Each structure stands twice: as C-alpha cells, then as structure tokens.
Amino acid sequence: MGITTEKIVLEVPGSTKMPAYVARPATGGPHPGLIVFQEAFGVNGHIRKVTERFAEQGYVAIAPELFHRTAPPGFEGSYNDFPSIMPHYQAVTAEAAEADARTTYDWLRQNSHVKADQISSVGFCMGGRVSFIANSALPLRSAVSFYGGGIAPGRPDRAEKQHGPLLLVWGELDKHITPEHREALTEALRAQQKVYVNVEFSHADHGFFCDERPAYEPRSARQAWALTLEFLRP
C-alpha cells in the first residue's frame, strides 16, 4: 500500500507547540487512527519507520514529539547516552502525557481521513506508559503497551479507568521492569475486570522490538508485530 507522510505542529493547550510525524495511506479512506508513542529517545528514525509500517497496514498513524516542552523540534537522543535524555524523560509527567495524548486524539478525530470511532494507541518503552495513560483518559478503541516502565509502581489506580482492551508486551529478561511490577499491573486489571492480553517473551530484553538497539530480538519482534496488528484490527 502506498503511503504519504508529513510533519505537522499541534497546539497543546497551556503548553508549547508539539511537532508530530504523520503517515497514512495515500488513497482510500477514511481509515482507523493510531497514536504511536515514542521511546525515550524521541521520534527518531525507528519510530518514524514504525509509524510508516502502520500506515502501510491501513492506519492514519501519528507520532507526537512528547519532549516538546524541553527539547528542540526533531530531537533525537542517543541509545548510548540515556543520562542526556533524562531531563526530557522526567518532564513527561502523567499530566503532560495526558494533555499531549488528548491533543493528538482530537487531531485524529477531526481529520477527514480518519474513522473517528476507531482510534487506538501503541507505545514503546516510555511510550508504553503513555499509551496506558492515554487509554485511561481517552475513549480509545484499544491500546498496546510495549515494555511500559513505571506503570505498575507509579499509577496502578489508572487500571480502573482503562477504556479499550489493552495489550501488554514484555521482555522477560527486562531488568528495568520486574516480574513483580508486571504481576501488580495484571492483578489490578483483573480486579477491575478489564479486558487485557498479557504477553511475555522469555528470551527478549527491554527494547527488543527496536532494530536499532542491541537488545533487538528479531523473532520476538516479528511475533509481537503480528500480534499487535491482530489486536488492533477493527
């Protein structure tokens, strides 16, 4: 499927302007909408490629730059220098993430290329947490969280506010997100009788989906992609 891409700027109420990368099918429509939440390293080449892959599958996909409050437009951090991105990472509070998600969601709903009742989200690493937050604040059709750190120990109360079904994807070798944290989250979702799917890849580490990181695990990434597409299917 042919796609078209563009960079846009969104106005987040009470905040700075937020750049975003958009990819969508070049023809047809309207299509389902999808918010793609970045890793902690920005809307970099990897995230743009993932956004384009979703567009090739028939989605109007948009990746907002969540670091817009603290970093220049187009910021891309180094996978080898996490300390340098910490100030930007820490600025993405739950409240800031919710505001950014709501602004992006509203843009999709108002876009003539998008089916307004079929908007979902997917996020990776930091974006996995933001996808969880977005699903608690917005009437998303579904949400996917890849190794979203900080969900369980941070705001488990958001489990009761989840709107759409939730797909949780983890690497069992992940030292950043412990089995106890994963279990606490699924227990909270179960207690609230939420619809969710919890998947752990036993031989994968944190960041295994990204082919630009040392942790990349091709087979797990391929299977997780197929599962994500099926989960998001309208």
Identify the band that residue 151 occupies on the pLDDT scale cut at 50, 70 and 90: confident
Of the candidates 31, 174, 205, 210, the residue annotated as catalytic is: 174
CA distance 202 to 215: 13
pLDDT tens figures, 64-77: 999 999 999 999 99
Q: With CA atoms as reference, report the closest residue to 125 among 174, 189, 91.
A: 174
CA distance 62 to 35: 5
pLDDT at 155 > cutoff 70: no
Pull the structure tokens for residue 190: 């179960």
Whether 113 is a known active-site residue: answer no
pLDDT at 111 > cutoff 80: yes
pLDDT at 153: 52
pLDDT at 15: 87
Whether 203 is a known active-site residue: answer no
Pull the structure tokens for residue 178: 């412990």
Q: Where are the beta strands (DSSP E) in the chain?
A: 3-11, 17-25, 31-37, 60-64, 114-124, 143-146, 166-171, 196-201
pLDDT at 10 > cutoff 90: yes
Do 159 and 198 contact (CB within 8 A), yes or no?
no
CA distance 41 to 168: 21
Give, in order, the Cα–Cα distances in Å from 187 to each of 65, 159, 200.
32, 9, 15
Of the candidates 68, 88, 125, 181, the residue annotated as catalytic is: 125
pLDDT tens figures, 127-144: 999 999 999 999 999 999
Length of the chain: 234
pLDDT at 36: 99
Of the candidates 31, 46, 181, 206, the residue annotated as catalytic is: 206
Expressed as residue numbers, the domain containing 30 is: 3-232
One-letter amino acid at 182 equals R
pTM metric for this prediction: 0.96
Q: What is the total count of domains within the chain?
A: 1
List, in order, residues 6 or more apart from 80 with CB less than 8 Å away. Answer: none
Identify the band that residue 156 occupies on the pLDDT scale cut at 50, 70 and 90: low
Identify the band that residue 148 occupies on the pLDDT scale cut at 50, 70 and 90: very high
Alpha helices in 57-197 (DSSP H): 86-91, 94-109, 126-137, 179-191
- Report phi then psi at 209, rounded to 5: -80, -20
CA distance 66 to 128: 13
% residues pLDDT > 90 (the chain): 89
- Report phi then psi at 167, rounded to 5: -105, 120
pLDDT at 1 > cutoff 80: no
pLDDT tens figures, 171-216: 999 998 999 999 989 999 999 999 999 999 999 999 999 999 999 9
Identify the band that residue 167 occupies on the pLDDT scale cut at 50, 70 and 90: very high
CA distance 128 to 105: 16
CA distance 147 to 134: 15
Order of strands across the sheet that contains 143-146? 3-11, 17-25, 60-64, 31-37, 114-124, 143-146, 166-171, 196-201
% residues pLDDT > 70 (the chain): 97
Average pLDDT score, the chain: 95
CA distance 55 to 218: 21
pLDDT at 143: 98
Whether 125 is a known active-site residue: answer yes
pLDDT tens figures, 74-108: 999 999 998 999 999 999 999 999 999 999 999 99
pLDDT at 9: 98
CA distance 27 to 46: 24
CATH number at residue 71: 3.40.50.1820
